[in-house]
Chain A
């Protein structure tokens, strides 16, 4: 199972990113683990500079702004 982490301090874009990933996963019928990381030192630990960032299985795949739908789809 893929493990997603959305890095962000709770702004609207972070919530939109989570909703988008959930929606795409559901559409594709793929079960994922989705976790929200709000702790700043933890976020910075990934080296992400602009939030929201997305981490899949420990690798940063996206940073800065809500990802496009096609980009999210390419992650599955």
Chain B
């Protein structure tokens, strides 16, 4: 392999990126504005009519798939760039020594923009604590980071409009802040596993901060797209296909009888049902949209979605390595209560 000369000035590397981004943006807008026409054209091209269930399902699929994938690619690219400004180490420095309250709000907000992977939840958790971030504040971060993520927000925006996306963002932050405050007030530090308590007395490493150039930030954006979109597209296709089926074939108001807003037990049932399920927002939201179209209440369905994302059994098994069962149960209980409250509020308001 030939090694690229290392001394290309950054400015020169930047031009291809800027040009590429400009062209991609134009193409993006052009395609996005023609989605509905394109779907109609395809449905007609197959000799189908939107009056038939099958035609309606096909239209749903060919309209929603490109729309969601376009939105996702754009936003994930931007998020990849934003995340280069927020490393976990940086976030930790911002949060260390912060008091309850202010710290919880800040932690929940930083949870949106800090890169986070549930496989490093435990190291992150301990890293925060060892730097003097209070337990409750750490939990606010740990709840917000997976729940309020760009994939969920993009899909909600694409399928329900910006109001629902903003509402989800606000409610997700509120749950993270509220749960963190409650856990902080309960003084549960003694329910950390013994090896964690020992480490907390030890040292922390500080890998030197590196200067990041803009072309590297753009590269990070591109990498983020490959990572996220590359991982979730099959779920999105599957989700939309399922959603399309429901859209075309399930009778109107079918869901109203057991997922409608008058059914009081639907919200807790949705939360409980969500715990053993582990999927990403991408797979679940298209199904969610179709259910709502058939009369399911938005609050109930969102509670289900939040529960699937924030209260997953696999993540709790990972956290079990560092937390004693009492603390895990408290964490799950507080978050579940928060999600149920959000479900009821949505059902009441909308």
18 contacts between A and B (CB under 8 A): A9-B122, A9-B318, A10-B119, A44-B127, A45-B202, A46-B205, A47-B130, A48-B127, A49-B92, A49-B124, A50-B88, A50-B89, A50-B124, A51-B119, A51-B120, A65-B115, A68-B216, A70-B6
> Complex: how many Å from CA A45 to CA B6?
35
> Complex: how many Å from CA A52 to CA B6?
26
Chain B 61-93 near chain A by CB (<8 Å), digits 1 or 0: 000000000000000000000000001110010
Contact between chains at B115 and A64 (CB < 8 Å): yes
CB neighbours (8 Å) of A60 from chain B are 205, 207
> Complex: how many Å from CA A62 to CA B204?
14
Contact between chains at A11 and B1 (CB < 8 Å): no
Interface residues of A (CB under 8 A from B): 8-11, 13, 27, 40-41, 43-51, 60-65, 68, 70
Closest Cβ–Cβ distance, residue A49 to chain B (whole Å): 3
Closest Cβ–Cβ distance, residue B89 to chain A (whole Å): 6
CB neighbours (8 Å) of B31 from chain A are none
> Complex: how many Å from CA A28 to CA B206?
29
Closest chain A residue to B92, Cβ basis: A49
Given the known interface contacts A48-B123, A50-B88, the answer about A11 and B205 at a Cβ–Cβ threshold of 8 Å is no
Q: Is B117 an interface residue (CB 8 A)?
A: yes
Closest Cβ–Cβ distance, residue A16 to chain B (whole Å): 10
Residue in B89, B92, B119 whose CB lies within 8 Å of A9: B119
Chain B contact residues: over half helix, strand or loop, or mixed? helix
CB neighbours (8 Å) of B199 from chain A are 41, 44-45
Given the known interface contacts A9-B119, A44-B199, the answer about A63 and B1 at a Cβ–Cβ threshold of 8 Å is no
CB neighbours (8 Å) of B119 from chain A are 8-11, 13, 51
> Complex: how many Å from CA A50 to CA B204?
12
Contact between chains at A51 and B195 (CB < 8 Å): no
Given the known interface contacts A11-B119, A47-B204, the answer about A64 and B88 at a Cβ–Cβ threshold of 8 Å is yes
Contact between chains at B117 and A48 (CB < 8 Å): no
> Complex: how many Å from CA A76 to CA B318?
34
